[in-house]
Structure 1
């Protein structure tokens, strides 16, 4: 299931508590595009709940989406206990100017504070 919430007018929160597949990624992207239509630049809080799985194909699809819309993103906070996902955030420095930080599930409140700045 995908839950969304707003921290501010230009900050969208997305919480995933199920395995991510292509259909779910499309739903997430639609929510992001709706927000981009209203605001030129947005920040995204993206949390994958403990026990959820993110396949590599779905990850690549989301990264491609992010690259295509990189000028629309101010910040992206990724909260997950998936080590490979958090560790892959260093790649963003090579390909995206967006400020992206990863956090563990225990650092969720820190992530919320950072994305709201």
Structure 2
């Protein structure tokens, strides 16, 4: 299930409690697009709960969406204990003009503070 919450008007908060598949990425994209109807630029917080995995297809779909919409993102926080996912995010987002940071699950509060500013 994909849970959403509001941190601030310009922030989309998402918690994924199952494996991150391309179907879940479609749900995330829909949430982001609905927030973009209200705000020109947003921050995105995505937390992948402990033990959850991401498929390559989902990762690729997310990367394509971020690159094609990068001018609408200010900050993106990815919270997960998956080191390969953190590394993939850091590598793929190094070319974006968006402030993207990855956080371990234990640093969730730090991520929430950072993304809310």
CA RMSD of aligned residues (A): 0.8
User: What 5-or-longer segments of structure 1 have no aligned partner?
Assistant: none
SS at match of 2:37: helix
SS at match of 1:63: helix
SS at match of 2:74: strand
Which residue of structure 1 lines up, in the alignment, with residue 67 of structure 2? 67
> Quick one: distance in 2 between partners of 1:90 and 1:63?
11
- Pairwise CA distance, 1:98: 0.4
> Do structure 1's residue 97 and structure 2's residue 97 form an aligned pair?
yes
Show the 5 A alignment for 1:74-93. Answer: 74-88=74-88, 89-93=90-94
> Do structure 1's residue 39 and structure 2's residue 51 form an aligned pair?
no
TM-score by length of 2: 0.95
> For the Cα contact (< 8 Å) 2:63–2:92, is it kept in 1?
no
Which residue of structure 2 lines up, in the alignment, with residue 3 of structure 1? 3
Which residue of structure 1 lines up, in the alignment, with residue 18 of structure 2? 18
Size of the aligned set, in residue pairs, is 116
> Quick one: distance in 2 between partners of 1:57 and 1:26?
11
- Pairwise CA distance, 1:90: 3.5
- Pairwise CA distance, 1:91: 3.2
- Pairwise CA distance, 1:12: 0.8
Superposed structure 1 runs of 4+ greater than 6 Å apart: none
Most deviating of 19-28 and 39-48? 19-28
